[in-house]
Structure 1
Amino acid sequence: MRVLVIGGTRFLGRTIVEEALARGHQVTTFNRGQSGADLPGAVAVRGDREVTADLERLADGHTWDLVVDTSGYVPRVVGESARTLSGHVATYAFISSVSAIDGFPGKPATESSGVWDCAPDAGPDDGDYGVLKAGCERAVEQGFDGNVLIVQPGLILGPYENVGRLPWWLNRISQGGPVLAPGDPGTPMQLVDARDVAVFTLDQAELGTASRFAVTGPAGNTTYGEWLELGKEATGSDAEFVWVDDRFLVDQEVGTWVELPLWGGPPSDEVANFWSVPTAKAEAAGLRVRPVAETVRDTWAWLRDVPEAERSYGAKALHGIAPEKEAAVLAAWAARSA
Structure 2
Amino acid sequence: MRILMLGGTEFVGRAITEDATKRGWDVTVFHRGRHEPPQGVSSLHGDRTAVDGLKAIEEGEWDAVVDTWSAAPSVVRDAAETLAGRVGRYVYISSRSVYAYPAPAGLDENGAVVEASPDDGEVGYAEDKRGGELAAIGAFGDRALLVRAGLVIGPYENIGRLPWWLTRIARGGRVLAPGPRDLGLQYIDVRDLAAWTLDAVEQGLGGPYNLVSPPGHTTMDELLGACVQVTGSDAELVWVEPEAVLAAGVEPWIELPIWLPPGELYDSTHVANVSKALATGLRCRPAGETVADTWAWLQSIGGRAPQRPDRPVVGLDPEREEEVLRAIRT
Quickly name the TM-score band, shorter chain normalised.
Answer: over 0.9
Corresponding residue SS for 1:234 = helix
Corresponding residue SS for 2:300 = coil
Which residue is 2:293 aligned to?
298
Q: Displacement of 1:178 after TM fit?
A: 0.6
Normalised to the residue count of structure 2, the TM-score between the two structures is: 0.94
For 1:134 and 1:271, how far apart are their aligned partners in 2?
A: 21
Structure 2 unmatched ranges of 5 or more: none
Greater CA deviation, 227-236 or 68-77?
68-77
Greater CA deviation, 36-45 or 191-200?
36-45
The reply to whether residue 332 of structure 1 matches residue 327 of structure 2 is yes
1:313 to 302, 306, 310: 306
For 1:129 and 1:60, how far apart are their aligned partners in 2?
A: 28
Q: Displacement of 1:179 after TM fit?
A: 0.5
Q: Which whole-Å deviations, capped at 9, do the CAs of 1:85-129 have from their partners, x for residues lacking one?
A: 11121110000011112334356512422422112212213xx31
The one-letter amino acid of 2:307's match is G
For 1:236 and 1:154, how far apart are their aligned partners in 2?
A: 29
Q: 1:43 to 1:161 in 2, by over 3 A?
A: same
Which residue is 1:41 aligned to?
40
Q: Displacement of 1:41 after TM fit?
A: 1.0
For 1:135 and 1:153, how far apart are their aligned partners in 2?
A: 15
For 1:174 and 1:31, how far apart are their aligned partners in 2?
A: 35
For 1:185 and 1:168, how far apart are their aligned partners in 2?
A: 19
Which residue is 2:133 aligned to?
137
On the 8 A contact 2:2/2:63 being kept in 1, the answer is: yes
Map 1:49-128 onto structure 2 (within 5 A).
49-55=48-54, 57-106=55-104, 108-125=106-123, 128=124
The one-letter amino acid of 1:286's match is G
Structure 1 unmatched ranges of 5 or more: none
For 2:148 and 2:103, how far apart are their aligned partners in 1?
A: 14
Give me the identity figure in percent. Answer: 41
The one-letter amino acid of 1:322's match is D
On the 8 A contact 2:298/2:305 being kept in 1, the answer is: no
1:232 to 204, 207, 228: 228
The one-letter amino acid of 1:51's match is A
On the 8 A contact 1:86/1:145 being kept in 2, the answer is: no
On the 8 A contact 1:7/1:29 being kept in 2, the answer is: yes
The one-letter amino acid of 2:23's match is R
Which residue is 1:289 aligned to?
284
The reply to whether residue 274 of structure 1 matches residue 269 of structure 2 is yes
Alpha-carbon RMSD across the aligned residues, in angstroms, is: 1.7
For 2:282 and 2:308, how far apart are their aligned partners in 1?
A: 31
Q: 1:326 to 1:73 in 2, by over 3 A?
A: same
Q: Displacement of 1:51 after TM fit?
A: 2.2
On the 8 A contact 1:87/1:145 being kept in 2, the answer is: no
For 1:173 and 1:313, how far apart are their aligned partners in 2?
A: 18
Q: Displacement of 1:134 after TM fit?
A: 1.2
Which residue is 1:178 aligned to?
174
Which residue is 2:155 aligned to?
159
